[in-house]
Amino acid sequence: MTALPFSPKVRPFRIDTDVPPLLHLSAEAEAVDTGELLSEEQVRLYLSLPNHNPETDRWVVEHPDDAAVLIAHAKLHLPSEADDCRVADATLVVHPQWRRQGIARTLFSLIEGPLEGTTDVNELRVYLDPRHEGAVTFASARQFRANPADTYTEMHAVLADVTAQPVLPEGFTLRSYRDVDHLPTLVEAVDRGFEGLHGHHRSSEVGFAPHLAELDWDGLFLLFAPDGKVVGTVGAQLAPDRTERNGVLTGLVDSPGLVPEHRSPELYRALLLSGVAYLKGRNVVRAELQSWGDAPETITLYTTLGFAVHHQQVAYGHGRPVR
């Protein structure tokens, strides 16, 4: 690590001006790291997540010669009161040209700050691509350890190649949220559908309500068992930013969720294909799938349906306190 020839201008994130330069920083970093390219809609969604205040839980570093350009960014997402697992998530990005100069260390100290003196967080977690030796070395030096069971996976498929049709077991029904239109049922489906899976925070009606307007109610589906109980969910919608990036009409599918007692290849298959069928009906050419914490056999199942893995990040965690 070399000493910086300047004192970095570190400041809190500004919602009104920092989104465009943050997107540019992300693009510059991922062009080298070959990771997830954030869209503006994703960034704005993350900014509005419950239990996250962008103005106090995010920090940026300005370019020394141009304050409108960001060369680094860090964020902290604390667990909600409803979370059973008291895990805080952190993200840290430094522009490739400014790495190994102490900026990450400076930002990491800011991430640690809010955790000092609190008993509400048992673990600090970061997601890293294992191929990026510098990031892994940085985390390992601070006693972070990999947890392969907690993996974020991005997949994609050309929908013309996904030929299987969704088939539900007898007695199960799939209804759109526009038809159901009942927030407590949706929150139950999401919370129980991803219960026990890494990378998911518990929801609440108060926390979920502001995001309903951002969702495609026709492409958000709830699965009901023969006894009428909600047991699963899958969401699919058009993705304008990804469409612009890919040059073809692109849709996004959130990985299907099933309550623990109904997790089976048959139902995971039916939910994913239902999301695909919805996108096909909107003339989507390419679908991208996001998965947090799904079992390896579930990811393998999706590959047999025509999806390919193009990006993965493994969680690295450290029990507090972190030094």
In the chain, what are the domain boundaries? Answer: 9-121, 155-314
Query: Is the predicted pLDDT of residue 45 greater than 80, yes or no?
Result: no
From 1.10.1280.10, 3.40.630.30, 3.40.50.720, 3.40.50.300, which CATH number describes the 9-121 domain? Answer: 3.40.630.30
Mean pLDDT, the chain, rounded, equals 89
Specify the residue for token string 């239109």: 181
Average pLDDT over residues 95-108: 92
| Residue at 147: amino acid letter | N
Specify the residue for token string 């000493």: 3
The 10s digit of each residue's pLDDT in 247-301 is: 999 999 999 999 999 999 999 999 999 999 999 999 999 999 999 889 999 999 9
Q: Is the distance from CB of 70 to CB of 24 less than 8 angstroms?
A: yes
pLDDT at 36: 63
pLDDT at 311: 85
The 10s digit of each residue's pLDDT in 181-222 is: 999 999 999 999 998 887 666 777 877 787 788 889 999 999
Query: Is the predicted pLDDT of residue 321 greater than 60, yes or no?
Result: no
Q: What is the pTM of this model?
A: 0.79
3-state secondary structure string across the chain: CCCCCCCCEEEECCCCCCHHHHHHHHHHHHHHHCCCCCCHHHHHHHHCCCCCCHHHHEEEEEECCEEEEEEEEEEEECCCCCCCCCEEEEEEEECHHHCCCCHHHHHHHHHHHHHCCCCCCCEEEEEECCCCHHHHHHHHHCCCEEEEEEEEEEEEEEHHHCCCCCCCCCCCEEEEHHHHCCHHHHHHHHHHHCCCCCCCCCCCHHHHHHHHHHCCCCCEEEEECCCCCEEEEEEEEECHHHHHHHCCCEEEEEEEEECHHHCCHHHHHHHHHHHHHHHHHCCCCEEEEEEECCCHHHHHHHHHCCCEEEEEEEEEEEECCCC
CA distance 36 to 28: 12
CA dihedral 290, 294, 298, 302 (to 10 degrees): 0
Query: Is the predicted pLDDT of residue 38 greater than 80, yes or no?
Result: no
Does 117 or 21 have the greater pLDDT score? 21
pLDDT at 201: 66
Query: Is the predicted pLDDT of residue 121 greater than 50, yes or no?
Result: yes
Least confident of 25-34, 67-76, 141-150: 25-34
Cα first-last separation, the chain = 19
Q: Is the peptide bond before 321 cis (omega within 30 degrees of 0)?
A: yes
Task: Assign 110 a pLDDT band (cuts: 50, 70, 90).
Answer: very high
Q: Decide if 9-121 and 155-314 have a common fold.
A: yes
pLDDT at 157: 98
Exposed e or buried b per residue across 136-158, where buried means at least 16 C-beta atoms within 10 angstroms of its C-beta: bebbeeeebebeeebbbbbbbbe
For a pLDDT cut of 90, what percent of the chain falls above it?
61
CATH superfamily of 155-314: Gcn5-related N-acetyltransferase (GNAT) (3.40.630.30)
Task: Assign 50 a pLDDT band (cuts: 50, 70, 90).
Answer: confident
Average pLDDT over residues 56-85: 87
Average pLDDT over residues 121-149: 88
Task: Assign 35 a pLDDT band (cuts: 50, 70, 90).
Answer: low
pLDDT at 306: 97
pLDDT at 323: 45
